[in-house]
Amino acid sequence: SGVPQLVQPMIWDYAADLDVEGKVHLIEKYRRCGFSKVWFASAFKGATGVNQSLTLIGHHLQNHLQWLRVASSSPADILEGIALTGWQRYDHFSVLCELLPVAIPSVAVCLQALKNGGYSAKVKENVEDLLGMSNLEIDTFMR
């Protein structure tokens, strides 16, 4: 059909405990079908509940750390990129959830984790410095 020369698949998963091995097998299947590149899609906000008002950073951080595991377990040349989504509502008839201002610490943590290949005390310190925060909380809702 020639489709693999025209498009690049995007694999979506927002779970904190996504199936790394299953994603690696899926990437292998795409490669066998002729796709030379794939994208990943994660979320830094808005993927944990239709009426969620605050962002639980730890959930989204774990999702990104899992995607890093998928990337490191896959052929180096197959990953084209990762799209960090930030859902505002679940459908056009739903109320807004997790507005961007409350999710800025989450996007900062997720981007720094991806940039640095993981999360550490140094990454936490970098985010706190960038955002002017004294204490970044990832396992509870920010106060």
Report the pLDDT value the prediction gives residue 52, as an integer from 0 to 100: 83
Mean pLDDT across the stretch 57-81?
96
Mean pLDDT across the stretch 76-101?
90
105-142 pLDDT per residue, tens: 999 999 999 999 999 999 999 999 999 999 999 887 65
90 to 17, 86, 105: CA distances (angstroms): 21, 11, 21
Cβ count near 7 (within 10 Å): 10
Report the pLDDT value the prediction gives residue 110, as an integer from 0 to 100: 98
Report the pLDDT value the prediction gives residue 1, as an integer from 0 to 100: 84
6-64 pLDDT per residue, tens: 999 999 999 999 999 999 999 999 999 999 999 999 999 988 888 888 899 999 999 99
Report the pLDDT value the prediction gives residue 96, as an integer from 0 to 100: 86
Rounded Cα–Cα distance for residues 138 and 95 (Å): 25
64 to 4, 8, 58, 74: CA distances (angstroms): 26, 20, 10, 15
Report the pLDDT value the prediction gives residue 143, as an integer from 0 to 100: 53
